[in-house]
Amino acid sequence: MKNFRKITAAGMIAMGLLFLSNQAQAQIFGEYQSAGLLGKGKIEASTHFTGVSTSYGGESAYTFNGLGLQAGFGLGERFELRTRYERLWFDGLGIGDGGFNNLTLAPKLGKEDGRFAFMLPIVMAFAEGDQSFQIHPTVLVSILRLEKMNLTFSPKYLISLDEGSEFSDSFLALNLGAGIGFSEQWVLRPELGLMFLPGEEGTFFNFGLGISRRMGNPKD
């Protein structure tokens, strides 16, 4: 990787961007959730906005935006299923101009005390008939738990399932998100993170804000 433009393209492809028919597809690597589980019968609905910038060789650039919806369904005391839709577009373009989409299905298994969870998102990125697939093994660890606030550290590995791709390297992402409760049901979720290819220069930074609402009553 010899220059800023190349590392930008390579990193974006590794995040879920595969240039197919001159159309890019992207992946936001933030989480906007905690290590805690919802509990059986509970539902959580969330929305979030994310910006991603790129830094390489002393240069930096704001790269793209993401607007997402996420839902979690508590299927047991230690297990839940999460779904997610993301609309992404490059900086300087409108949300409907040459954008791309992600659909994610993610089983999540964790401890009942809410301090640790493992998640395996399966991601499909698509645009104008083209598509690509990734898996993102993710660990979520609560590093601070207060009555109305928590901090969650969530490392993840982004693995492409598209064999033969020129950009088949697997990137590592490290996220730090907060959950700030301002009512019994509503939680504000600011988050920061970075992504990089181990052993290579160049870093991607994500920063965003989400909001979640929990609904439903636990089932017996």
- 184's CB contacts (< 8 A; 6+ apart) are none
CATH number of domain containing 108 = 2.40.160
pLDDT tens sequence across 154-185: 999 988 887 655 445 678 999 999 999 988 89
Instruction: Indicate the range of 72-76, 130-134, 180-184, 207-211 predicted with least confidence.
Output: 130-134
Q: Which residues pair with 74 in a beta bridge?
A: 80
What domain range includes position 188? 4-129+144-206
Look at residues 147, 151, 216, 146 and name the one whose alpha carbon lies nearest to residue 185. Answer: 216
Domain count within the chain: 1
Joined tokens for residue 152: 């969650």
Q: Considering the entire predicted model, what is its pTM? A: 0.82
Asked whether residue 218 is assigned to any structural domain, the reply reads: no
- The answer to whether the Cα torsion of 56, 203, 189, 62 is positive or negative is positive
Asked whether residue 104 is assigned to any structural domain, the reply reads: yes
Q: Phi then psi for 20, rounded to 5 degrees?
A: -120, 125
pLDDT tens sequence across 13-35: 434 333 322 223 355 778 999 99
Asked whether residue 179 is assigned to any structural domain, the reply reads: yes
Asked whether residue 220 is assigned to any structural domain, the reply reads: no
Asked whether residue 171 is assigned to any structural domain, the reply reads: yes
